Amino acid sequence: MPQSMFQFLPTPFFHFEYLRVLSTAPFHGAETGECLSALSQLRDGDAEAWYRVWSAQAKQALALGDEALAAGDTTGAAWAYLRASNYFRSSEFFLHCDATDRRLVGAIEKSVEVFDKGVRLVQGMRVVGVEVPYEGGVLPGRLFLPKSGNGIGKGGKIPLLVQMGGFDSTQEELYFVGPAGAVPRGYAVLTFEGPGQGIVLRRDKLRLRADWEKVTGKVLDVVEDKLAGEYGLDMERIAVVGSSLGGYLALRAAADPRVRACVSFDGCYDLFDVTRSRMPGWFINGWLNGTLGDGFFNFVVNRLAAWNFQLRWEFGHSMWVYGVETPAEVMRAMQRFHLRGYLEKVKCSVLVTGAADTFYFTPELNAQRIFDGLGHLEEGRKRLWVGKGVEGGGLQAKVAAWGVMHVKILLHQIQAVAALNNLTIDIPPFAFGTANKTPSFLSKFPTGKVPAFEAADGTTLVESDAIAWYVAASGPQAPALLGRNVAEQARIRQWISFAENEVYGPMLSVVLWRAGFRPYEAETEKSAAKGMEFALSVVERHLEQEGYLVKGLSLADLTLASALYWAFMHYLDETERRRFPRTVRWYLRTIGSQGVSQVFGEPVLVGVKKSAPDGN
């Protein structure tokens, strides 16, 4: 945990779990006031107080949901039920030291029940129950679908994300990480409870398995045999996603030829190595070579766990999940969870991330080794990002990393120009707020701004427009991108300035709070909405006579499309798009152009934008 980071509770373990609840607030998994009320009653290291406080908050939110539903306020009811479900989930978390505690089943059963009650009231989303046959029983799942088409699918089909749970998550918690953000962007999301997870661990006693591809194979069979045809899912665009241990599970699933992309957020390469790295060498090596027997190993771990709650929870939860009875058996079970010799089976595109400030899966032992194990993939089909610092994506959930998002927005126009000119831009892992403050960085880029660019000949530049102009002028498409005469060049510069001065600021204001990166402010939203309407009206009128902003595809189009990228993803929903049809056609034509589409990817158009909290 970064030393400068504010902590809600003294120990990183309890602080992280509190933050885990609070971070779902943008997706209605928590309410700030309720969380602060809970905080005043929590005691660091006290599992019983944690259970009592979050159970009480859950019941309070549940009662509020019932009240809202009775009054006909389905939106208020949905939000309250989702919060109640998440609070019930969190309430039993620290009770995992004792797998026989009856409250474990009761709390999660209540979380599941209330979640189903709430999620079916969420506007713009359809939820379908799914059953996956597994070893004579079924694994419960949910398919989340956009209620109306939003242009993302090809031929009317919807791309699918299959989301993995992790070591201690539940399917209901996955909603806040996946479906809540993906469905409004036009994706379908399939979540499921696998062996060793959620309700099937607590109720059915199914244990976690290392060969997760055996589980996801059955899940994908259900998708292929039933769900794809019935709900219009695109079998050619299936991605698997997972976080923490779920990142490992996603990589196991990625070897299936039906999977076209994989995102492994902060996953592990070898679970045993992770645990081994946290133990004294003489102790773990003595056990491995047989010098120290299981009895001594178990004695030492149990004595340490008696006064260290985190260690007690970790081994207690692990024994429960693996279905074993001693710490030594836990260590043997962990040895099955590794990716050695397996990653070469993965043929799809992969994004690997690491979190420099995690206290579990460090990037050196995990993300880097995973990325290195994908050496058989072409450069354009794999990427590694290691977040550093709170502001740079260093926390496990990439919380508070909106500066990284800012950088990614600005990179689209530069990458698109490079692609059209057949130039290669190397984008190394970068920790915003940290790397750009180092002496070596400031010696080349004194302002410390990003994006920053260094050419092969040593030329250094900052400001995205300047970098894009340089890249555009450095290849065979320079006349088309920058203008063939003075008049065209001036008009291109005019539209670039327009994007920067009239579009970019309002776009950030309407997008950032909807994406959960900034608090909502009514006056800011009102002003920004007017700014967006004005800018889009100008573009709409101009496109009455033109197919592109100037003559043919130019840097002007790429710059404005980049500025609007996140607006189309979060703000310009179906209602808004109907008001600006020419602008929508121009945008789709621009980002779908040959050489450009590989940078922007498939169009992501929000179906129904997130409503303002005050109803305005």
Which pLDDT does position 399 carry in this prediction? 40
Residue 16 counted as domain residue: yes
What is the number of alpha carbons within 13 Å of residue 576 lying toward its C-beta?
A: 21
pLDDT of residue 260: 93
pLDDT at 463: 80
1 assigned to some structural domain: no
* Residue 470: burial class (beta carbons within 10 Å; 0-12, 13-18, 19+): middle
Between 235 and 566, residue with greater pLDDT: 235
Q: Are residues 158 and 295 in the same domain?
A: no
**What is the number of domains present in the chain?**
5
The confidence band for 435, taking pLDDT boundaries of 50, 70 and 90, is low
105 and 126 Cβ atoms separated by less than 8 Å: no
Considering the domain architecture, whether residues 382 and 466 belong to the same structural domain is answered as no
pLDDT digits (tens, 9 = 90+) for 265-307: 889 999 999 898 888 888 898 999 998 999 999 999 999 888 8
Q: Is 611 among the domain residues?
A: no
User: Is 244 assigned a catalytic role?
Assistant: yes
Instruction: Tell me which of 26-40, 218-232, 378-392 is least confident.
Output: 378-392
- Between CA 232 and CA 229 the distance in angstroms is 5
Q: What is the pLDDT of residue 407?
A: 45
* Percent of all residues in the chain with a pLDDT value above 90, rounded to a whole number: 59
CATH number, position 421: 3.40.30.10
Mean pLDDT of all residues in 307-332: 95
Separation between Cα atoms, residue 367 and residue 5, nearest integer Å: 23
Give the span between the Cα atoms of 374 and 346, in whole angstroms. Answer: 8
| Domain-terminating residue out of 429, 449, 476 | 476
pLDDT tens per residue across span 498-555: 998 899 889 888 887 776 556 678 888 999 999 999 999 999 999 988 889 998 999 9
Q: Which of 101, 121, 141 is the last residue of a domain?
A: 121
Q: Which of 161-165, 167-171, 216-220, 463-467 has the lowest mean pLDDT?
A: 463-467
- The half-sphere exposure of 535 on its side-chain side, counting CA atoms within 13 A, is 25
User: Do both 307 and 378 map to the same domain?
Assistant: no
**339-394, pLDDT tens digit by residue?**
999 999 999 999 888 877 776 778 888 999 999 999 999 877 888 887 665 444 44
Average pLDDT over residues 227-246: 93
Return all residues near 513 (Cβ < 8 A) that are at least 6 apart. Answer: 519, 520, 521, 525
Q: Which residue has the higher pLDDT, 494 or 360?
A: 494
Q: In this predicted structure, what is the pLDDT of residue 248?
A: 97
From 55, 169, 244, 562, the catalytic residue: 244
Same domain, 141 and 255: yes
Cα–Cα distance, 492 to 556 (Å, whole number):
5
d(CA 470, CA 461): 9
Question: From the DSSP assignment, how many helices (H) and strands (E) are in the chain?
Answer: 28, 10
Percent of the chain with pLDDT over 70: 90
- 265 and 276 both lie in a single domain: no
Mean pLDDT of the chain: 87
DSSP H or E stretch at residue 234 = strand 233-243
Task: Using the structure block, give the residue that is written with the tokens 């060049």.
Answer: 489
Query: Phi and psi dihedrals of 208, rounded to 5?
Result: -65, 140
Alpha-carbon distance 85 to 81, whole Å? 6
Helices (H), 71-150: 74-91, 103-119
The residue segments making up the domain with residue 433 are 416-476
Same domain assignment for residues 12 and 64: yes
Q: Is residue 88 part of a domain?
A: yes
**Domain finish residue from 301, 320, 335:** 335
Same domain as 202, residue 129: yes
Q: What is the CATH number of the domain that holds 522?
A: 1.20.1050.10
Q: Is residue 197 part of a domain?
A: yes
**pLDDT band at 411; cut points 50, 70, 90:** low
User: Residue 396: how many CB atoms within 10 A of its CB?
Assistant: 21
Question: Does residue 409 have a pLDDT over 80?
Answer: no
Mean pLDDT of 464-485: 87
> What pLDDT score was predicted for residue 4?
52
Which three-class secondary structure state does DSSP give residue 132? strand
Residues 117 and 25 in one domain: yes
Same domain, 464 and 350: no
Q: What is the CATH number of the domain that holds 394?
A: 3.40.50.1820
Q: Residue 517: its pLDDT value, please?
A: 53
Clarify whether residues 596 and 490 are in a common domain.
Answer: yes
The two three-digit tokens of residue 348, written as one number: 């799809």
| Two tokens, residue 511 | 């997008």
In this predicted structure, what is the pLDDT of residue 63? 97
Close Cβ partners of 490 (under 8 Å, ≥ 6 residues apart): 483
CA 399 to CA 24: how far, in whole Å? Answer: 10
Helix (H, G, I), strand (E, B) or coil at 330: helix
Same domain, yes or no, for 35 and 157?
no
Average pLDDT over residues 387-406: 44
Is 606 within the bounds of a domain?
no
319 and 261 both lie in a single domain: no
Domain-located, residue 614:
no
What is the pLDDT averaged over residues 178-195? 91
Residue 389's pLDDT is what? 53
Query: Residue 170's closest CA among 108, 126, 249?
Result: 108
Integer Cα distance of 265 and 325 in angstroms: 30
The contacts of residue 41 (CB under 8 Å, 6+ apart) are 49, 52, 53
d(CA 322, CA 224): 30
Give the CA distances from residue 577 to residues 18, 35, 149, 542, in Å, rounded to whole numbers and listed in that order: 39, 37, 13, 16
Asked if residue 615 belongs to a domain, the reply is no
Q: Average pLDDT for residues 180-206, to the nearest whole number?
A: 93
Beta bridge partners of 264: 242, 352
